[in-house]
Amino acid sequence: MSNILKSTKLDNYILKSSYRGLILLYFMGSFIGVIAKTQVITIAVVMIITAPFSGMYFSIYEKNKLNRLYGILPLGKTEVVIGRYLFTMLLCIANGIISVIITYSVSLFNGKEIDPATLAAAISGSFLFFCFFISILYPVYFKYPFSKVYIYANLPLYIIAVIGMFILKKTDFIKNISGLIHYFTNNQYMIWLTGIGLGIILISVSCSLSCFINKKNEF
């Protein structure tokens, strides 16, 4: 366990120089929230963009040939992978908390209250998307060089997002699932259970797959 924490601290140290870019992300989320007059959009913007941001670690790792550094450290392959996922989830939680604070600040600026069910749905949905994004990308990044697969790995996820928005705009999808929405609105714990639970499951499966891939690369 101590080596996993050491790996997490090392990941934080390596990515520390890029944290300044998150300030722009916070301003972007705040701006969109004010313009759209829908406070919870801020949470979605911050959380969704945090996902590809966390992948920058693999870019820094490849660019600076950090495989040499990790080769001399007393860290196992599995410990490195678990530490990477733990660091990513901590980054997700930290940005999630900051996005909620920003959301409440934007709501005060707009003079509107935030519906608890809407807030729960925004946090849970954004967390689930974050976990889905990471669960797809990380095994790919552990298997192939970041520079060769970055565009191809991210493009399908963006296509899915565009198709999803098209379906929501051009069909009566929301109306057809109105009963389901009503159920979740009246049972907020189900919103949290669905979003957080499914997210954790996705991350667990992805982490196990990445551990297998990273160990196989060793051989």
User: What is the number of other CB atoms lying within 10 angstroms of the CB of residue 60?
Assistant: 15
Q: What is the mean pLDDT of residues 169-196?
A: 61
Average pLDDT, the chain: 77
Q: Which residue has the higher pLDDT, 177 or 116?
A: 116
**What is the number of domains present in the chain?**
1
Asked if 103 contacts 39 with a C-beta cutoff of 8 angstroms, the reply is: yes
Q: Which of 96, 130, 97, 155 is nearest to 206 (CA)?
A: 130
pLDDT for 178 = 45
Q: What percent of the chain has pLDDT over 90?
A: 10
pLDDT for the residue 219: 44
Domain that holds residue 164: 2-218
Task: Encode pLDDT of 93-147 as tens digits.
Answer: 998 898 888 888 777 777 777 777 777 878 888 898 889 889 988 888 888 877 7
Q: Whole-model pTM?
A: 0.81
